[in-house]
Structure 1
Amino acid sequence: MSIRVFTVVLVASLLAALAPASAEILPTPPGWQIERAILVNRHGVRSPTEPNEQLDRYSATPWPTWPVEPGFLSPRGEELLRLMGTYYRVLYGGRGLVQADDCPTVGTVAAWTDLSQRTRTSGAALLAGMYPRCANLPLRNQANFTVPDPLFNPQPTASCPMDLAANRAAVLSRLGGSFASIGRDYAASISMMQSVLCPAAATKGAGGGSCGEAGMPTSIVSGTEDGVRLRGPIGYASTAAENFLMQSADGMPKDQVAWGRLAHDATLRELLTLHQLDQDLTQKTKPIAQQRGSNLLSLIGSILVNGHNFPGHAATGQPVRLGFLVGHESNIHNVAALLDLTWQIPGFLPGEASPGGALAFEQFREVRSEKRYVRIAYYTQTLDEMRRRAPLNYRDPPGMVQVALPACSADLVNNACPLESFLKIVKAAVDPGCVTATAGNY
């Protein structure tokens, strides 16, 4: 074994030993080197995406004011992502993927973000946290702001029509044809949310609407960025629960999170089951996941094969070794659905795409055989780490867990999927008619 390989293995072993008991990330196997890591990153903590005037219509108490515009990354959210960037330098520098003690070689570390303020600022914060004294790290996004980025917000095409009626039918087929089962299965969570939004059995929202949208039927309607969305009590409950999570992660005092009506974090998690339900139906229903996630998953496979295929990257010079694709919660859920992935970080629900969290695709090379393998992981700060703005290092890492790839279970080597097998799984998972953003034309 070469000195470089031995050093990387040793450092990775120390990382694993110092990780919390909940962490399941394996050290780099002996004789292996990490060659590339592509992280599908959710933006960090943000303000509510809807203005208070809209939110107040359906809550008995007006929503608090944030210091930024609706849907913008908060100052705390930016700070938290800088902390995560610092840790990625520790993690991937220790594994020998990128420079740990100097600025990275030009082109080897990059980020491509969606067009919104929260994603662009999140990408900048990650890079600034990794290399605060290094200028001109490539943070890029689509130059045309007048049309959505097809990687994060694909639009209908002739080969991928994204038909609302067909998608509505696909969602309802999972529910037995109606939302009646939801009312039964989630009755306790819905009742709990109603008591938070509408204490003392209030019926009117502060803005004049029906409190909690009670009495309105839950329906599936066309969304803006996210394809389809739920409207009605479940839709508003989903939005409210996510806003409560953002309030808590932003460090608001407990007596201000959800107007002080949450007894403890377990109550927040119970309410977040309604948001997870919403995401499961609108982002993980198979045809929707294929429409929304085929571009992203196909490109991930392409980048793992050739780092020059990273969006905005030059075909000459060094290939990308560590690349961030900074988008939204929905993007992570789309990819997770296509590959049947799930994970759980302590304090979060199973499969929750937490603020600032990342689904990482890490490629390794076995030095002796030259064979390549892909391992998947999920990284995020815990909610407690977010609230405390906790520094992250070897001894105090963020939440992290290895993510199983069920379709590759028969081919695993050291809990990693052979690259050839991974690429076949990707090809089988996507809808080729919905792949419009490839390495050759993106």
Structure 2
Amino acid sequence: MNVRVFVATVVASLLAGLMPAAAQLEPTPPGWQIERAIVLSRHGVRSPTQTNAELDRLAAKAWPTWPVAPGFLSPRGEELMRLMGGYYRLLYGARGLIQADDCPAPGTVAAWTDTDQRTRASGAALLAGMYPRCGNLALRNQANFDVPDPLFHPQPSASCPMDPAATRKAIMARIGGSFASVQRDNAGPLRMMQSVLCPNGTTATAAGGGTCGDATAPTALETGPDGRTRLKGPLGLGSTASEAFLMQAAEGLPKDQVAWGRLASDASLQELLTLHLLDMDLTEKTPEIAREHGSNMLNQIATTLESGHKFPGALPVGQPVRFGLFVGHETNIYNVAALLDLTWQVQGFLPGEASPGGALAFEQFRTGNQRYVRIAYYAQTLDEMRNRKRLDYRDPPGMKTVELPACKAQSHLHACPLERFLEIAKAALNSQCLTPGTP
């Protein structure tokens, strides 16, 4: 999507109050039988990835202290993921995909997570919520923590160099060669962010010295040691800070600790989060970046849907995986969403936002001799997270059927024929960026 169109769409959504109802999921058509679901989930609510000492150099007042190390899943985040797992059991148990009231057959329910604490703990919480009395659901992840898992963090290779200069060029091409128009289009949220971080024109920081905020610094692109390109300057700071405020709200912190009590409402938080969504749109959904970073994951999803026997770490029991869970990061969801041109909106969040604990689900159905893939997005609403709300049929999480634009001509009841879905997935990924050893 063109960046100007992206900004206009988000702003229009905010101004018009286009908050969809929590549950907008198409029912299973009569005569259809679900055979498999592959779920790509973001980890749950976590603490900021920066230390408080680092954050305090950005704002006039010290940031709230979290009960866990930087970037770790919080106890509240773990509880929320258990609640989400319990709902998956209700949902997919009622559909006949998995056991609703007993432990599943070995190998039919499988989970693979990234190696970070927040992803491993989120995966464990989801499984515990699904089957709290079942001890045969071992959580699996890459054994070597010293190297990135290529499903979640693919690395440069001879065939897929992920050249930083080429990456920056692709991003800059989307915004007309400079950040001038982007900063102009986002002047409102940027001013609001500066006033939240540094009220009344404050210049001193909580850490002492320095300059509060980043309003006068130029926005630029920087490639980190992990090879990912990030925004620096006011847009980068706005992205980081707004995401931190979202985690504070989802953690259920008192109102005076969410952005220091300087946000009038959740709508104000949403306006600030447009900066984070813009950051993700540029650095994760730019087509060249999405193909480099998302091809492994999309290929794995398609391969597992096709057979059910090639899920990473699956037990050699001869049973195909029926419910496969990947737990990673928002970047993984944005990469796959960009490759397939997917979008959604859950109450309390922006269009296409990959909220904490939210997940893209690829659900395979069969009717007669025909198989279909339907895509859905599941996520607790912000109020459900804030209030630790129990999820059930009467009070479900946010749910949304997600259309696959490339399958519009062949779509039937919001589902794409499996063969066509596999064609679309194969055409979207970059085969040169598939890591050897992944399916």
Q: Same fold (TM over 0.5)?
A: yes
Residue matched to 2:52? 52
Structure 1 counterpart of 2:372, one-letter code: Y
Deviations 1:109-140 (A, max 9, x none): 11100000000000000000000000020310
Alpha-carbon shift at residue 22 of structure 1 (Å): 4.6
**SS of the residue aligned with 2:222?**
strand
Q: 1:153 to 1:234 in 2, by over 3 A?
A: same
User: Partners of 1:267 and 1:105 in 2: how far apart?
Assistant: 47
The answer to whether the Cα contact below 8 Å between 1:378 and 1:400 also exists between their aligned partners in 2 is: yes
The within-5 A match list for 1:8-407 is 21-207=21-207, 208-225=209-226, 227-366=228-367, 368=368, 370-407=369-406
Deviations 1:57-89 (A, max 9, x none): 111111111000000000000000000000000
Structure 1 counterpart of 2:306, one-letter code: V
**SS of the residue aligned with 2:91?**
helix
**SS of the residue aligned with 2:213?**
helix
User: Partners of 2:296 and 2:234 in 1: how far apart?
Assistant: 32
**SS of the residue aligned with 2:294?**
helix
User: Partners of 1:274 and 1:224 in 2: how far apart?
Assistant: 23
Alpha-carbon shift at residue 217 of structure 1 (Å): 1.4
Structure 1 stretches of at least 4 aligned residues deviating more than 4 Å after TM superposition:
437-440
Identity %: 68
Structure 2 counterpart of 1:276, one-letter code: L
User: Partners of 1:290 and 1:315 in 2: how far apart?
Assistant: 31
**SS of the residue aligned with 2:126?**
helix
User: Partners of 1:229 and 1:209 in 2: how far apart?
Assistant: 22
Q: Which moved more, 1:199-208 or 1:396-405?
A: 199-208
**Unaligned residue ranges in structure 1 (runs of 5+):** 1-19
User: Partners of 1:257 and 1:139 in 2: how far apart?
Assistant: 33
User: Partners of 2:421 and 2:395 in 1: how far apart?
Assistant: 32
Alpha-carbon shift at residue 416 of structure 1 (Å): 0.4
Alpha-carbon shift at residue 393 of structure 1 (Å): 0.4
Deviations 1:254-313 (A, max 9, x none): 111001111110000000000001000000001000111000001100000111111111
The answer to whether the Cα contact below 8 Å between 1:340 and 1:406 also exists between their aligned partners in 2 is: yes
Q: 1:437 to 1:197 in 2, by over 3 A?
A: farther
Structure 2 counterpart of 1:70, one-letter code: P
Alpha-carbon shift at residue 317 of structure 1 (Å): 2.3
Alpha-carbon shift at residue 107 of structure 1 (Å): 0.8
**Unaligned residue ranges in structure 2 (runs of 5+):** 1-19
Residue matched to 1:432? 431
Deviations 1:124-171 (A, max 9, x none): 000000000000203100001110000000100011101111100110
Alpha-carbon shift at residue 318 of structure 1 (Å): 1.2
**SS of the residue aligned with 2:374?**
strand
Structure 1 counterpart of 2:133, one-letter code: R
User: Partners of 1:306 and 1:98 in 2: how far apart?
Assistant: 17
User: Partners of 1:31 and 1:200 in 2: how far apart?
Assistant: 63
Residue matched to 1:418? 417
Q: 1:437 to 1:112 in 2, by over 3 A?
A: farther
User: Partners of 1:363 and 1:279 in 2: how far apart?
Assistant: 29
User: Partners of 2:26 and 2:266 in 1: how far apart?
Assistant: 29
Alpha-carbon shift at residue 173 of structure 1 (Å): 0.6
Alpha-carbon shift at residue 231 of structure 1 (Å): 1.0
The answer to whether the Cα contact below 8 Å between 1:372 and 1:419 also exists between their aligned partners in 2 is: yes
Alpha-carbon shift at residue 204 of structure 1 (Å): 2.9
**How many aligned residue pairs are there?**
419
The answer to whether the Cα contact below 8 Å between 1:310 and 1:439 also exists between their aligned partners in 2 is: no
Deviations 1:310-367 (A, max 9, x none): 111134421110011000000000000000000000110000000000000000111x
User: Partners of 2:179 and 2:260 in 1: how far apart?
Assistant: 29
The answer to whether the Cα contact below 8 Å between 1:107 and 1:138 also exists between their aligned partners in 2 is: no
Q: Which moved more, 1:204-213 or 1:265-274?
A: 204-213
User: Partners of 2:361 and 2:169 in 1: how far apart?
Assistant: 32
